[in-house]
Amino acid sequence: MTRPNAVATAFPGTSGERLWKIWWLWGMALGWAASGMLIYAEFLRVSGAVGWADLVDVCRLLAYFTWARLAWRCSHNVEDARWTPMARFALGAGLVSMVMF
C-alpha cells in the first residue's frame, strides 16, 4: 500500500503529516521560490511591465497562502503542543509580511 503525499493528506482535512516536514521541506522550497518571484517582479516593474509584475506578485501570494493553509492544518501534529500557537503566529506574521512586500 502506498502512502499518500503531504498535500493529499493535509488539504481534505485529515492533516496527518508532521508539521516539521511541511514547515522545513515545503517551506524552504517556497521561500526560495517566493524570493525569486519577488526579484523577478521587481525586474519586470523596472522594465515597465507593471501588469506582468502584478501577476507574478499574485502568484507569489497564492503560493504562500497554499503553503500557509497546509502548515496551519498540520500545526497541531507536533510532539510538543507549545509549537502549535508559535507556528500559527509565525504563519500570520509571514502572511502580513508577504502582503506588505
**Cα gap 64→50, rounded to integer Å:** 21
What average pLDDT does the chain have?
A: 84
Q: Name the percent of the chain lying above pLDDT 70.
A: 84
Between residues 87 and 42, the one the model is more confident about: 42
Cell of 87: 507556528
pTM of the model: 0.73
Distances (CA, A) of 47 to 26, 50, 68, 75: 31, 8, 31, 41
Q: Which helix (H) or strand (E) holds 5?
A: none
